[in-house]
A and B are shown apart, each in its own frame.
Chain A
Amino acid sequence: MPFISKIQRQSDYRSFPPNHPIVIDNGGSYFRIGWAGESEPRVIFRNIIQRPRHKITGETITVVGDHDPALLKYFDCTRSGPRSAFDSNVVYQFEIMEYILDFGLDRLGADQSQINHPVLITECLCNPVQSRSKMAELLFETYGVPSVAFGVDAAFSYKYNQQLGICSGDGLAICTGFNTSHVIPFLNGEPVYEACCRTNVGGYHITDYLKQLLSLKYPHHMSHLTWEKVEDLKMEHCYIAKDYASEVHLFQKGDKEAEEKTRSWQLPWTPTPVEEAPSEEEVARKAALKEKQGQRLREMAEAKRFNRINDLENEIRDLEMLLQRLRNASEHDILSILAKTVHTSQQEVESALLKATQSLRKAKGEPVENVEKLDPSSVDRYNLISIPDEMLTPEQIKQKRKQVFIKSTSEARQQKKQKQLEEEMERERQKKLEEERRLENPEQYLEELRAKHRDLSEKVEQRKRFKTNGGQTNGNDNGSGGVGRGERLNSSQRERMRLLTTAAFDRGKEEDTFGAKDEDWQLYKLMSRDNDDDDDDKPDPDEAELARVSSRLQEIDPTFFKPEVGSSSAEAPRFRPLTKEDFQIILGVERFRCPEILFNPNLIGIDQAGMDEMVGVSLRRLPPKGRGVEDRMTESILLTGGSCLFPGMRERLEGGIRMIRPSGTPIKIVRSSDPILDAWRGASAYASAMQFPQQTFTKMDYYEKGEDWLRSYRPRYTI
């Protein structure tokens, strides 16, 4: 059910005589205005205003009620949401109220210099006199209204239904409005104010609760959950559970009945286009392209190699020639020849030649002989090592050191190689052994392997937990590395904290000996943040074994599947394409959880009794005591106000009232003929009565009698 607004401008304003009253139902959600004696209000609109700025001209305008949202695109509404003149159910913002009255009267067709009609306007029960006098002032001063009457909407609704014969003169009106809910007892057709009660829960709270719940449940669809839409959802789907506990139990079990009660709202969703598998020729084309590129790269590399070989050959030729000349030349000439080159001695030329030859071989792809092995002068290379230092020149000592270093490193390399070889062999041997065992009894082997895997993975898991939780496994492994609110520190973090606090607060009386020993300074190392996970870099033998076992299992066990590592399972949904289900808003428990606040305002933190208990409170407050009166009251309970439209309301209320009343109490709950419009209709009938003018007061009355009189102003509803 969408919002029902009627904002056509009326044209017959002038046809009403000056004393014909205008009737206004100034409700929390809707403003209704019309002529006394008519059955329908002429103009209905939401009791809100918006004051956006025009995007181009920048002028602030006033928009009253709800309009086509498409037209609001010309305005910048970011800084002004819809505003209401109400705080709870009391009008307090009379500037807004004035705009609303302007709009209402304008649409009613008012076109004379002032409003020449008495006005009957509704207000809340026991309206604070401040609000009442401001409203009267506004009507008298700004609109020039001759006389004004105030009345309570629920009372008009009850009177109207009494006239229809739906309820009797003695009874209770239960009115659940937009901001508040009231229970008003009636005796002989007059409301008993001292026995009324009000709980500050209404339709607004239900919609707000639903909106909050849904936007918490579906944070991605927040933009779809506008107030208007949620209000629609509420009116369409919400109902009142006969017994909340059993109803919710139904959903908790999740059986078929609950499924049937679940509603889902499909948001607009366009499936992401499925990527088509590339056609064969496409694949071929791509392969060819790749091949071509590879070919080009290969060619380039080949050319480069060819160039390098050429260069190296030239160099070798030059060097050989140089060497030839050097050999043939005399001692004297050598220097002059060398002066022309970059080399300084014959040996250097020789070594350069050797180097070039080796590079050439490498470039040509011939196997490079291992220099170390081939080197015949290996003994010769380390010739200085065995000679004691005393017999050497400083130059030689330097060389000796170099030789020692080279020798030890090469030996270490050899040893490492040897060790690796041995390990490889050992592994090979073990593998063979295992394979044999497997072949011997495959079943048992597999079982053993599985058990081993289980043990190992448990061990590794436990260690991980221990690390994050410092030994206390409270089962809260939420994987967040940061230390957030109330998060427990792991053992090393705790130790660090302890050190920091002792360091900060250690003001011992004895002499400060810190720093006397070198170990003292180790403390800073322990305190530093880098100390946190220092054992991480060491590989864990268990983990390595686990990896080996699981890979082995993967090889031979078809049923084995490797558990996902770490957070990959959490990341998975991100890559999942969004489906239709992701764009559904599911209303399950929310359907009755939200209206439940009418009966349990505690659910939204309002510490007041719910609707069923309110009836008991009202009956207790009633001045004439006795079963007789109370029974008469419960025999005529009228439900009115927009929030009583929820299905199941009557049954739930009856059950609730039966619980607080003595057994055998006659209970009759009726819904008013039209819970939304009855208040206006009742007021309209009231204003058209002959005695209505006696219930109004004029501007003169207002200024003569003063505020105290206005405070105790109460119309008689039976006229």
Chain B
Amino acid sequence: MEPEVVEAEMVLPTHMWFKKMQTYDKYPKGQARVRWKQLKQIIPAENYQNYPHEEPNYVNIETPPSMHPCRRICDITGYEAPYVDPRTKLRYANAEVFKMIRSLPNDYVQRYLALRNAAVVLR
């Protein structure tokens, strides 16, 4: 290891004196990695349906959808967008932007759509 790296102490030591159990014992090398449950898997396992629904939990404190009409802005410029291109499904503000989106390559169109979670996802 290079001296400046050692001096900066940026590398976490593998052995910690203050620990009762070292990481390398807990997650030995070469063994199958622990698959940590993602939030998507944690929530069903919490069995919230078994508890009274007025009891607050991680799911029911979520904010409901907005009551206001959805604000539509131009995907490219951010201006107010009265139009939608039927081909790319992008929202656009004026003819200039329209010209531009028609010349956009498909992957850019998809990336713009992905920004507002509207991209076509192929599985």
- Residues of A participating in the B interface, judged by any CB pair closer than 8 Å: 9, 54, 57, 61-64, 67-68, 71, 74, 87-88, 90, 92-95, 98-99, 102-103, 105-106, 110-115, 124-131, 141-144, 193-194, 196-200, 209, 212-213, 216, 244-245, 248-249, 251-252, 476, 478, 484-486, 589-590, 593, 600-610, 613-614, 617
> Do residues A62 and B12 form an inter-chain contact, with CB atoms below 8 A?
yes
Main secondary structure of the interface of A (DSSP, over half): mixed
Question: How close is B102's CB to chain A, nearest CB, in angstroms?
Answer: 6
- Name A67's contact: one of B8, B54, B112, B118 (CB within 8 Å): B8
Name the residue on A nearest B117 (C-beta): A605
Complex interface: chain B residues within 8 A of A589 (CB): 77-79
Q: Which 9 A-B pairs have the closest CB atoms?
A: A605-B117, A589-B78, A193-B56, A87-B39, A593-B78, A609-B66, A110-B18, A62-B12, A605-B116
> Do residues A64 and B12 form an inter-chain contact, with CB atoms below 8 A?
yes
> Do residues B58 and A128 form an inter-chain contact, with CB atoms below 8 A?
yes
- 12 additional A-B pairs beyond A92-B37, A193-B61, A213-B115, beta carbons within 8 Å, are A54-B1, A102-B12, A141-B21, A144-B19, A194-B54, A216-B112, A248-B79, A476-B102, A478-B102, A601-B66, A609-B66, A610-B66
In the complex, A196→B61 CA distance in Å?
A: 6
The total of chain B residues at the interface (CB under 8 A) is: 61
> Do residues A142 and B20 form an inter-chain contact, with CB atoms below 8 A?
yes
Complex interface: chain A residues within 8 A of B64 (CB): 608-609, 617
> Do residues B87 and A614 form an inter-chain contact, with CB atoms below 8 A?
no
Question: How close is A251's CB to chain B, nearest CB, in angstroms?
Answer: 7
Complex interface: chain A residues within 8 A of B103 (CB): 478
Complex interface: chain B residues within 8 A of A114 (CB): 18-20
Name the residue on B nearest A589 (C-beta): B78
**B23, B56, B78 interface centre (most CB from chain A within 10 Å):** B78
Does B32 have its Cβ within 8 Å of any Cβ on chain A?
A: no
Complex interface: chain B residues within 8 A of A87 (CB): 38-40
B1-35 vs A, Cβ < 8 Å mask (1 yes, 0 no): 11011001111110011111101001100000010
In the complex, A691→B54 CA distance in Å?
A: 30
Name the residue on B nearest A90 (C-beta): B39
Does B121 have its Cβ within 8 Å of any Cβ on chain A?
A: no
**B18, B63, B66 interface centre (most CB from chain A within 10 Å):** B63
> Do residues A608 and B71 form an inter-chain contact, with CB atoms below 8 A?
no
**B2, B13, B18, B19 interface centre (most CB from chain A within 10 Å):** B18
In the complex, A292→B111 CA distance in Å?
A: 60
In the complex, A198→B61 CA distance in Å?
A: 6
Name the residue on B nearest A111 (C-beta): B17
> Do residues B63 and A98 form an inter-chain contact, with CB atoms below 8 A?
no
Complex interface: chain B residues within 8 A of A144 (CB): 19-20
CB-CB under 8 A for A74 and B42, given A213-B115, A248-B78: no
> Do residues B58 and A613 form an inter-chain contact, with CB atoms below 8 A?
no
> Do residues A603 and B71 form an inter-chain contact, with CB atoms below 8 A?
yes
Complex interface: chain B residues within 8 A of A61 (CB): 11-12
Does B123 have its Cβ within 8 Å of any Cβ on chain A?
A: no
In the complex, A125→B62 CA distance in Å?
A: 11
20 pairs of residues in contact across A and B, judged by CB atoms under 8 Å? A62-B12, A74-B5, A88-B39, A95-B23, A95-B36, A99-B12, A99-B23, A113-B17, A142-B26, A143-B19, A198-B63, A251-B79, A252-B80, A485-B87, A485-B106, A600-B66, A602-B71, A603-B73, A608-B64, A609-B63
Interface residues of B in 59-97 (CB under 8 A from A): 61-68, 70-71, 73, 77-80, 87, 93
> Do residues A602 and B115 form an inter-chain contact, with CB atoms below 8 A?
no
> Do residues B36 and A93 form an inter-chain contact, with CB atoms below 8 A?
yes
> Do residues A603 and B46 form an inter-chain contact, with CB atoms below 8 A?
no
In the complex, A87→B41 CA distance in Å?
A: 11
> Do residues B66 and A602 form an inter-chain contact, with CB atoms below 8 A?
yes
CB-CB under 8 A for A67 and B10, given A90-B58, A196-B56: yes
CB-CB under 8 A for A112 and B17, given A130-B37, A589-B78: yes
> Do residues B42 and A613 form an inter-chain contact, with CB atoms below 8 A?
no
